[in-house]
Amino acid sequence: MEFILPALIGVFLGFVFGVGCALAVMYSIYMGGYRAAVKDTQIKPPPERLTKALAKLSATSASAASD
């Protein structure tokens, strides 16, 4: 019976704080990329990588619309 309390504390710390911290890190990475993408759309002229991605996106959506 003495093993149950430390085990529950370990599970709590491992899952709650571990998963919570991992989600916080992933969210901050996602938001950093989102901010960079929004900033790239405002640059004149747009970066070459952005224009290629937009062209590929429009070609994909055009082929999906014709199917």
Q: pTM here?
A: 0.49
**What are the residues whose beta carbons fall under 8 Å from the beta carbon of 41, sequence distance 6 or more?**
50
Strands (E), 1-67: none
Half-sphere exposure of 61 (CA within 13 A, CB side): 6
Among 39, 33, 37, residue whose Cα is nearest residue 57:
37
Classify residue 31 by its DSSP letter: H
pLDDT tens profile 10-63: 888 888 888 888 989 999 999 998 888 888 889 899 889 989 999 999 998 888
